[in-house]
Amino acid sequence: MDKAIVVRDSHRGDPADVLGRLCSNFREQEHPFPVRFAVVQPEPEAWLLADHNALARLSEERGQPTDFPAPDRSPEQLPDPKAKLASLLATAGVPYTKEAAARLAEVCDLGLIEALCPSFTCFKRAVTDC
């Protein structure tokens, strides 16, 4: 079965407004398959920050074992999750690249992400509803 999930980051905007704009520009009858929307708050890097063990695993795989502290709040509350992720990885000598992000996504504990990042729950719902 064909399906599509459109994922958009909020860039600190109101996720409901972003979702509303996405939905208002969408014409369901133009697609012969289900389409769902998910808004990441504020950006996908927040999800990657949720699992400090995944960060440690990536740094170990890249030759510089580093311990990272567990988040004390939702990474979605950070002013700039992408900059924070790049900074943390830099302390381990790991440049933030799309390959590094992909590896983190592979090894992250989805339960931790869901527990710390409410917008991930919305994304998960879009995946299962589609």
Residues 103 and 105: their CA atoms lie apart, in Å, by 5
Residues 45 and 34: their CA atoms lie apart, in Å, by 27
Segment 49-70, tens digit of pLDDT = 999 999 999 999 999 999 999 9
Residues 60 and 41: their CA atoms lie apart, in Å, by 29
Predicted pLDDT at 130: 66
Predicted pLDDT at 58: 98
Helices (H), ranges, the chain: 15-24, 45-49, 52-61, 81-91, 98-107, 110-116, 118-129
Segment 11-33, tens digit of pLDDT = 878 888 999 998 898 888 888 99
Given a cut of 90, whether residue 128 has pLDDT beyond it is no
pTM equals 0.85
Predicted pLDDT at 129: 81
Does an H or E element contain 6, and which? strand 4-9
Tokens of 121: 């729950």
Segment 80-93, tens digit of pLDDT = 999 999 999 999 99
